[in-house]
Amino acid sequence: VFDNNYYLDLQNNTTLFTSDQSLYSNSADTEDIVDSFASNQTVFFENFILGMLKMGQLDVLTGSEGEIRTNCSIANADSSYYQQIIESIVGPEEQSQSSQST
């Protein structure tokens, strides 16, 4: 079931990952959001929809415009290694076509 129980688990300190639990336990900024979503499932659903709409408007970088990162928060120092991996999977022709179509 897709619902707001994740946020109730945060309040009850019963989450699986400590990184998730820190949303509630270690941050005054996000504690209010957790409380809001836990106490009102409609508010959670409304905000989830808005977040999905915003993510749908992001431009996805493909081909040579983007990269697969080894650490999501840091750009790779040398993308050519990852470029070779991508080309070995999809082929250089398909990759260049996909980057031209976006």
What is the structure's pLDDT at 68? Answer: 76
Residues 16-34 have a mean pLDDT of 89
- pLDDT(50) > 80: yes
Residues 21-34 have a mean pLDDT of 89
- The answer to whether the beta carbons of residues 13 and 21 sit under 8 Å apart is yes
For residue 40, the one-letter residue type is N
Residue 73, helix vs strand vs coil: coil
Which of 37-41, 61-65, 83-87 shows the lowest per-residue confidence on average (mean pLDDT)?
83-87
Residue 32 assigned to a binding site = no
Buried b vs exposed e over 22-42: b needs ≥16 C-beta within 10 Å? ebbeeeeeeeebbeebbeeee
- pLDDT(3) > 90: yes
Q: How confident is the model at residue 76 (pLDDT cuts 50, 70, 90)?
A: confident
What is the biggest distance separating any 2 CA atoms in the chain, rounded to whole angstroms?
Answer: 52
Q: Tell me how far apart the terminal alpha carbons of the chain are, to the nearest angstrom.
A: 35
- The answer to whether the beta carbons of residues 20 and 26 sit under 8 Å apart is no
